[in-house]
Amino acid sequence: MKPEPVTDGGEAEGDVLAVAEHRRGDLRDVSFEAITAGRQLADDLGGELHIAVIAGNVDGFAETLNREGVDTIHTVDAGEEFNHDLYAGAVESLFEEVEPAALLAPNSVNGLDYAPAVANALDLPYVADAVDFAYDGGFEATREMYGSKVETTVAVSEEPFAVTVRGGEWPGAEGAGDAAVEPFEYEFDGDAAGSRVVGFEEVAGGDVDIAEAEFLVSIGRGIEEEENLELIQELVEVTGATLSSSRPIVDNGWLPKNRQVGQSGKQVTPDVYLAIGISGAVQHVAGMKGAETIVAVNTDPNAPIFDIADYGVVGDLFDVVPALISEFK
């Protein structure tokens, strides 16, 4: 796992600049994961770990971000919330000051909204959504392709470079650190920016809270047609389960948004999560991997959902579900 730190000979060539993330006053978990990933990379590179925290209560954030392994925290006191013009501009300026070998950011929704722009502006090779990486004379990242059915490694032959890391792949950094906190002056005129955040809205209240359910029967695109949902409804009735779904079912308007499990839906932690016709895309898994027992029904033996399942049924839901219904009738 984590290699022994290489002592820094005073050169700053191998430094890493990682960007923290917060929303509505709270640092997000990906910030602490970015510290762990950034520390790993900085160790490999033989450099220091710099954290950038931009907008909002940056001094408060800096205190919380001061975890083991962080060398310097750069606070950019401008704006209240994420705005990509602010983030892109501040990260670019900081990058030019710190001159790191690598820029690291969370592959979050906001990461998607500024990191590619920064990489382009600074002319950095860009690797998105790394699930692992190593640096051994050169940077090599592990990524997934084709709906997580395969893994790939990609090598980057230029430095500096930019990488975004997938949430949940690195543990969050813990332990108190003794980082230097350095305010970084960056002028930002929010009103003049070409994009303006004007507010937030919470979606998906409603009749049921799937986050509370102990047994979720969750349906995905394998159901094919809206009419076929009746079959699942019947299973839900005879088992007393709560119905949830993957995103396409909600996108199609077949179920309301409050039934969606995943990154942009709900996080659920039932005793049993029965995933029917769901492939197990990363954004879906993000919402249900905390289930105590995961059972998957899928025709595709290579579906990534089986990688996290405790029980697997390789089979056609249109055969398995009716048989299951008769078991409980």
Partner 1 sequence: MKILVTVKEVGEAADDFEIEGLDVGERFLEYDLNEWDDYAIEAGVQLAEEFDDVEVVSATIGPERSEETIRMALAKGVDRAVRVWDDDVAAADLDVAAKTRLLAAVVEEEEPDLVLSGVQANDDNFGATGVSLADEVGFEWAAVVNHLEMAEDFSTASLHRELEGGIEELTEVDLPAVLTIQTGLNEPRYASLRGIRQAQSKEIAPKTLADLGLDASAVESPIERTAMYEPESESDATYFEGDADEQAARLADVLREKGVVGR
Ligand X SMILES: Cc1cc2nc3c(=O)[nH]c(=O)nc-3n(C[C@H](O)[C@H](O)[C@H](O)COP(=O)(O)OP(=O)(O)OC[C@H]3O[C@@H](n4cnc5c(N)ncnc54)[C@H](O)[C@@H]3O)c2cc1C
Per-residue binding letters, 139-158, with partner 1 (x by CB under 8 A): -x--xxxxxxxxxxxxxxxx
Query: What is the C-alpha separation between 91 and 319, in angstroms, rounded?
Result: 54
Could you say which of 57, 68, 215, 228 contacts partner 1 (CB under 8 A)? 215
3-state secondary structure of 114: helix
Query: What is the C-alpha separation between 89 and 55, in angstroms, rounded?
Result: 12
Could you say which of 42, 52, 78, 88 contacts partner 1 (CB under 8 A)? 88
User: Residue 274 CB, nearest distance to ligand X (Å)?
Assistant: 12
Residue 77 or 300: the one with the smaller Cβ distance to ligand X is 300
101 sits near partner 1 (criterion: CB under 8 A) = no
Binding stretches for ligand X (CB under 6 A): 109, 147, 220-222, 246-248, 260-265, 277-279, 281, 283-284, 287, 297-300, 303, 316-318
Residue 67 or 284: the one with the smaller Cβ distance to ligand X is 284
Of residues 235-254, those binding partner 1 (CB under 8 A): 239-241, 247-248, 250-253
Which has the closest alpha carbon to 277: 247, 257, 252, 255? 247
Query: What is the C-alpha separation between 153 and 132, in angstroms, rounded?
Result: 9
Residue 174 or 251: the one with the smaller Cβ distance to ligand X is 251
Query: What is the C-alpha separation between 156 and 153, in angstroms, rounded?
Result: 10
Amino acid at 285: V
User: Residue 146 CB, nearest distance to ligand X (Å)?
Assistant: 11
User: Residue 127 CB, nearest distance to ligand X (Å)?
Assistant: 17
Query: What is the C-alpha separation between 40 and 154, in angstroms, rounded?
Result: 18
Per-residue binding letters, 42-61, with partner 1 (x by CB under 8 A): --------------------
134 sits near partner 1 (criterion: CB under 8 A) = no
3-state secondary structure of 311: strand
Query: What is the C-alpha separation between 72 and 17, in angstroms, rounded?
Result: 9
Size of interface with partner 1, in residues (CB under 8 A): 102
Which residues contact residue 10 at a Cβ distance below 8 angstroms, ignoring those fewer than 6 apart?
A: none
Query: What is the C-alpha separation between 116 and 91, in angstroms, rounded?
Result: 12
Query: What is the C-alpha separation between 212 and 328, in angstroms, rounded?
Result: 23
Name the binder of 128 from ligand X, partner 1, none, CB < 5-8 A by kind.
partner 1
Choices 34-42, 63-71, 173-181, 234-242; region in contact with partner 1 by CB under 8 A: 234-242
